[in-house]
Structure 1
Amino acid sequence: MTVSAAWPVRRALTSEHGTALPAFVDHHVHLHLIDASTLAARGIAAVVDLGGDPVALARRARGLPRVSYAGAFLTAPGGYPQGRSWAPDATVRLVTDPSRHPGVTDGARTAVDAQADAGASVIKVALHADAGPVVSDDVLSAVVAAAADRGLPVVAHAQGAGQVERAIEAGVAALAHAPFDAPLSRRTLSRAIDAGQVWISTLDIHRGAAREQAITNLRAFAAHGGRVLYGTDLGNGSLPVGLNRRELLALHHADVRGDALVAALTDAWPNVEPTTAVCTFVPGPAPTDPDDLPTWLSRGTVVATEELTRVD
């Protein structure tokens, strides 16, 4: 098969021949729960941390993987993920007041400013109604507006009856997980797509009915032009650190295939410009059978772009 973004190359250091692709991104990780030091060797050049300590994230040493982050989860008192063993206090920020004025205690603008001032590229809000209270419509709208004032998109963990619809109505730019707890109506899918919402896959965290529902919803979203991003929720359970073959296969099963699968891996979101100093090297040519592409992609590693010489 032909992969539009791929080109044949030779590695200068090893003389190995293979294929170069743009740098791969995992759009949903939690760095405080993993050892990120092996990500580049296992194919991930950049990550988006969607829930962590904003101060610790701001202090991370530069290098690979390149890190974009949301900072703390914005949530209601007693809401997800407050009180979880994996979510220290610094990873959670309570928001109760829809005020868009700076400095208001527990205000929407205050919470957004704290993440943005720490270098956040996106704002994360928890809408997990199955796990506890969620922010009100007024607070949610105020968070989206305050984030827009800082030039930042909002991503939501939307779970529970009506939460995906609330996210769409409020102008949330991305869902942290492909919806998995219920089928979505054609109208809801159309509204999400028309709004330009993006969905991060995270299919491999599920098993059984939830997995099949997530795949079904994502398939419908992608089939009608929805923008899909590769993301694993790395740190959640026993997921492989690096490219996740199971996630790639699940995306393929959801009919995110070929160039669309590569696009999901290489999308720069939430950044505007992709990483160009490094790229992905996969040994050998792209497979001729499209069904073999996920496994082949999972063998990628990150190399300096200057190390590769194009061969035609």
Structure 2
Amino acid sequence: MARDPFALRALLGPDAAFCRRAITGEHGVSLPPFTDHHVHLHLIDEASLAPGGVAAVLDLGGDPVALAQRDPHSIPRVAYAGAFLTAPGGYPAGRPWAPPATVREISDASTHPGVAGGAATAVDEQVSFGASVIKVALNSTAGPVPDDATLDAVIATAHERGLTVVVHAEGEGMPQRAAEAGIDAFAHTPFSGVVDRAVIVRAVATGQVWISTLAIHGGDPAAAQSARINLAAFADSGGRVLYGTDLGNGDRPVGIVAEEVAELDRAGVRGAALIAAMADPWPASAPPSGVSTFVAGEPPTGLDDVAEWLGGATVVPTEELIHDEC
């Protein structure tokens, strides 16, 4: 691509700019800071996130006490759900990667604060430790799931506290059930079969957000295909897609996950839409301040080149970048 800032922004979105790093002299492109909307910090080496292009993360299942002790101004910036909320014996309780501190088993659908094992009690605990969202596990393939009364109580309490509800929906009928209950986000693009068109329409109309995590299905072609079809339909209908990888699930490099970017591209989330999915600060209202994404070298020449090109991204202080658009 010639150094045409208008063509660059048409390809990569309105915030893309030619620049150079004052310290190294490298020329390249600056973009907004990126967020990975699904990670598990206790399972990864987070020191590699910023060098690998990730400025902010949403932890969707961890120890709320440990997460509350973090420096809120550090990079990567961290928002979190705190513990998974699940049914007694439900996913992911008992998994070796999910220590007891990361799971709360709800045995009572009570919306009254302080009830032992109660839905409101579990939500309020996460709120007290600074959670930005509430995470519920509806995985019927791996054990019991919260009943309707419990799910309704969690959602109602979270919404009363001003928090959104993110659901891991897995198993026959679970995405539909989550959607009908009024959840705000899917932690994974639905992958247990192709969802009904009505689910897509409702999701878009209600402002639901879908976190991608397409690349985790590498060993399950059917799930991979279902997730791709579902995300493509959601995005094509105007749905809000968020880049997320489920880092900690499997052995993958920490930072931007090339396979996830490529899968989003394959699902039709390309170019400026791809950058928007990665730069969306949700659940925060604004991206981390003082940092930008920098990709050294020549920019991509077309849509087919964007996904691979993003593999060179890193996080740098914005003050290091000098715009150089002529």
TM over 0.5: same fold?
yes
Aligned match of 1:235 in 242, 245, 248?
A: 248
Residues in 1 aligned to 2:270 and 2:157: alpha-carbon distance in whole angstroms? 36
Q: Displacement, 1:238?
A: 1.3
1:181 aligns to what?
Answer: 192
1:3 aligns to what?
Answer: 12
Moved over 2 A (4+): none
Aligned residue type for 2:27: H
Contact (CA 8 Å) 2:241, 2:277: kept in 1 or not?
Answer: yes
1:305 aligns to what?
Answer: 318
Q: Is 1:168 aligned to 2:179, yes or no? A: yes
2:86 aligns to what?
Answer: 75
SS of the equivalent of 1:298 reads helix
Aligned residue type for 1:178: T
2:124 aligns to what?
Answer: 113
Aligned residue type for 2:178: A
2:4 aligns to what?
Answer: none
Q: Is 1:153 aligned to 2:164, yes or no? A: yes
1:46 aligns to what?
Answer: 56
- Structure 1 residue runs of 5 or longer lacking an equivalent are none
Q: Displacement, 1:212?
A: 1.4
2:204 aligns to what?
Answer: 193
SS of the equivalent of 1:261 reads helix
> TM-score under structure 2 normalisation?
0.94
Aligned residue type for 2:161: R
Q: Which moved more, 1:1-10 or 1:258-267?
A: 1-10
Residues in 2 aligned to 1:98 and 1:77: alpha-carbon distance in whole angstroms? 12
Q: Displacement, 1:288?
A: 1.3
Contact (CA 8 Å) 2:167, 2:185: kept in 1 or not?
Answer: yes
Aligned residue type for 1:28: H
Identical aligned residues as a percent: 59
> TM-score under structure 1 normalisation?
0.98
Contact (CA 8 Å) 1:112, 1:146: kept in 2 or not?
Answer: yes
Q: Displacement, 1:166?
A: 1.5
Q: Displacement, 1:277?
A: 1.2
Q: Is 1:33 aligned to 2:43, yes or no? A: yes
2:23 aligns to what?
Answer: 13
Contact (CA 8 Å) 1:8, 1:285: kept in 2 or not?
Answer: no
- Structure 2 residue runs of 5 or longer lacking an equivalent are 1-6
Structural RMSD (CA)? 1.0
Q: Which moved more, 1:153-162 or 1:57-66?
A: 57-66
Offset from partner CA, 1:256-282 (integer Å, 9 cap, x none)? 001110011011111111112111001
Q: Is 1:95 aligned to 2:76, yes or no? A: no
Aligned residue type for 2:240: R
2:3 aligns to what?
Answer: none
Aligned residue type for 1:69: Y
2:213 aligns to what?
Answer: 202
2:295 aligns to what?
Answer: 282
